[in-house]
Amino acid sequence: MGVLNYLAQAYMTPEMIAALPEAERALYDNIPAWTTAAFAIAVFGGALGALLLLLRKKLAQLVFIISLLGVLAQMSYFFIASDISEVYGPGGMVMPIMIVGCAVFLIYYAKKAIKMGWIS
């Protein structure tokens, strides 16, 4: 889902952005390149980590950690430097919190899988 969300955002046409409400359009117009890069690292790292976990590779834990760093970088911009909470309201905080929670859980799970000998 994250990869699809990234691709949808990265390939939004000017017409699609113009169709957004003014406040959302302002958010998209002001997203710095490093935030988009962090988003890519987060979602593609998470997808690769999940694949490595399915393949029972220890490298999954490191990839999940890198993915979490991407998540934290992206979320830091949205919560500190943008007015995302004003645009989406308090409900807009639920999904980012869930994403951080999932990223942390995946690191924990990979670490446990290594410890239990499930992956090598």
pLDDT tens column, 89-113: 777 778 888 999 999 999 999 999 9
The H or E element containing residue 9 is helix 2-10
Report the C-alpha gap between 109 and 112 in whole angstroms.
5
At 61, list the tokens.
């834990």
pLDDT tens column, 25-56: 877 888 889 999 999 999 999 999 999 999 99
In 3D, which of 94, 34, 93 has the Cα closest to residue 69? 34
At 29, list the tokens.
């117009």
- DSSP class of residue 82 equals S
In 3D, which of 91, 94, 49, 95 has the Cα closest to residue 68? 49
